[in-house]
A and B are shown apart, each in its own frame.
Chain A
Amino acid sequence: MTHVVEGQALTQDYVISAGMFGKPKLLRAVKGANFAVEQGKTLAIVGESGSGKSTLARIIALIDPATGGTLKIDGQPVAIGRGRVPRELRSKVQMVFQNPYGSLNPRQKIGDVLMEPLMLNTDMPASERHDRAEAMLKRVGLGPEHFNRYPHMFSGGQRQRIAIARAIMLNPRLLVLDEPVSALDLSVQAQVLNLLGELQEEFGLTYVFISHDLSVVRFLADEVMVMNKGDVVEQGSREALFADPQHPYTRQLFAATPVTDIEAIRARVARRQAMRLATSAP
């Protein structure tokens, strides 16, 4: 069985401080990432700022070409150079960005936002594009009355629904989600995560999900990849990784994640009370 997306030794170099004289300095933002994701599964890439997770996401989403290594979509190696990504390939891979306030054109109506990918990548007639966009609005929990509204008339959660709708307009195989819920409130985050789960099941979507939030990752990932400073430090199934993290950095991430466990709160409250008694005693 072929994988929807596969990466072999992917690297990305950026040139920093290239002066007029002297050698340009290179920064290796991704130092060899290997992964393969089956259809309908979710690979979560976890790391902090500077870990290279978003750089890797941009490679997988065919936005930036990798410096080295091979990226395969549906078993076919892809090489994107200077030219545009071929229509057929662009229809297969779509992306949802972190900030729903920045990723929608403020002067474009929602209907046009959803119809644009069809206009650019297919030869569908206008009336069909319109119908599809309306159906998609409904699917993500909005209504036809939203069709002619502008992005500023929507809340953050609604905008993220619109961004997700735009991404799946072309029936993609693979969706790259770069921190899609980190800008949202907790209860809205829950709605969007539920929506992503439903859509994955309904359309057989494969997700590459970038996140720094381990509780979100635990909720939806099948495979997890932990990155630190460009290196993949640990990789494995969700069950294995959460049950027994091996790498010190992964453990550090776990230790830093706040726990809402009742027993942990009880212990902390007791500790504080004991300390208070100790300081207030003469």
Chain B
Amino acid sequence: MSLLTIRNLTVRFATSTGSFTAVDGIDVHVDAREVLAIVGESGSGKSVSMLAVMGLLPDTATVTADEMTFDGRDMLAMSASERRRLIGREITMIFQEPIASLNPSYTAGFQIEEVLRLNAGLSSREAKKRALELFQAVGIPEPERRLASYPHQMSGGQCQRVMIAMAIATNPRLLIADEPTTALDVTIQKQILDLLMTLQEEHGMALILITHDMGVVAETADRVVVQYKGKRMEEADVLSLFEAPKHPYTKALLSALPENAVDGKLPTVSDFLIEELPQ
């Protein structure tokens, strides 16, 4: 059953040179317990479409959609307070720069306890206890000590674990992860992806993973949406996408992986049928 359904989502930004369409009629749906990867390069609108769902875009953005429902509830018709009960509780999000996502002037413990008090309705005492459990669940070493640490005292990988702990604090049904491992080393990336997949399976939540890394897609996704310049190019389950990509842009992306070099040369997007791509 579809958990989040978006039909014909368009996001326009008012700029000094006129209106710019960042997302152009995108359809996205994700089922409960499903891992969906949205793949694209910078400028493909992959982050913007999810920020639109979260209501995190600036005032210059105009968001329109024919349908935006979460679990049968119409998100477009919701009042602001209804929306607030949904976002941050049932739908949560983590971002690319874990250190920048945390407030540098408060301890990690304070920040996660705040989420637990405001969004999960716990008392301070309960929040303290639960924060410790969550830190243990996401594999932060010395969790008691880390609760009292400031973001700058932790590594990028640890900060991302704190972000994940905050994101799962309310037992969300959908977690959106926007390039969660791009800023991290490969061994840490592996740990974070493994953690996300374990939590996804244990909690039975749906996961939308925004990434430009086909390797990450191969290791995590059930289904994949490929975006380019605000448009959807292809949608397929992960195996069909890698085995038999249909759209020339997907083929180009896959062949640009360094492991697919031919005679010491890497095929580039322009080697493929460029005229089939939207300009």
Residues of A within 8 A of B (CB): 48-49, 156, 185-191, 193-194, 197, 212-216, 218-219, 252-253, 255-262, 264-266, 268-269, 272, 275-276
Contacts and interface: CB of A to CB of B under 8 A. Distances in A.
Interface string B62-76: 000000000000000
B244 to A, nearest CB: 10
Contact of B213 (A48, A255, A258): A258
Nearest to A261: B218
Interface string B246-260: 000000111011110
Contacts of B252: 187
Q: Sorted from nearest, which 8 A-B pairs have the closest CB atoms?
A: A258-B215, A256-B190, A219-B258, A190-B266, A185-B41, A48-B185, A190-B256, A215-B258
B201 A275 contact: yes
B186 A186 contact: no
Interface stretch (B105-113, B136-144, B235-243): B235-243
A272 B252 CA distance: 28
Contact of A260 (B187, B201, B259, B268): B259
A258 B42 CA distance: 21
A202 to B, nearest CB: 14
Contacts of B51: none
Nearest to B42: A185
A272 B218 CA distance: 13
Contacts of B187: 48, 252-253, 256
A269 B34 CA distance: 12
Contacts of B185: 48-49, 212
Contacts of B189: 256, 258
A262 B186 contact: no
A185 B186 contact: no
A260 B264 contact: no
B218 A186 contact: no
Interface in B213-242: 213-216, 218-219, 222, 237-239, 242
Interface residues of B, number: 37
B269 interface: yes
A185 B188 CA distance: 20
Contact of A259 (B219, B237, B269): B219
A256 B242 CA distance: 20
Given A260-B257, A262-B239, A265-B242, A187 B186 contact: no
B242 A190 contact: no
B257 A187 contact: no
B268 A187 contact: yes
Contact of A197 (B188, B253, B265): B265
B201 A186 contact: no
15 contacts: A48-B187, A48-B188, A156-B42, A186-B213, A186-B253, A187-B269, A190-B266, A194-B265, A197-B264, A212-B186, A260-B242, A260-B259, A262-B239, A264-B218, A276-B33
Given A258-B215, A260-B218, 6 more contacts: A156-B42, A191-B268, A256-B189, A258-B216, A258-B219, A261-B218
A258 B218 contact: yes
Contacts of B188: 48
Nearest to A181: B258
B173 interface: no
A269 B238 contact: yes
A137 B187 CA distance: 38
A65 B263 CA distance: 39
B258 A218 contact: yes
A218 to B, nearest CB: 7
A272 B222 contact: yes
Contacts of B212: 185-186
Contacts of A255: 190
B42 to A, nearest CB: 6
A62 to B, nearest CB: 27
A190 B267 contact: yes
B238 A265 contact: yes
A256 B186 CA distance: 6
Interface in B24-70: 33, 41-42
**Residue from the set B216, B237, B243, B259 with the largest chain A CB neighbour count within 10 Å:** B259
A194 B269 CA distance: 13
A262 B260 CA distance: 13
Nearest to B257: A260
Contacts of B253: 186-187
A101 B208 CA distance: 29
Contacts of A275: 201
A261 B243 CA distance: 9
B214 A260 contact: yes
A159 to B, nearest CB: 13
A160 B242 CA distance: 29
B14 interface: no
A252 B190 CA distance: 10
Contacts of A268: 219
A221 to B, nearest CB: 11
B239 A269 contact: yes
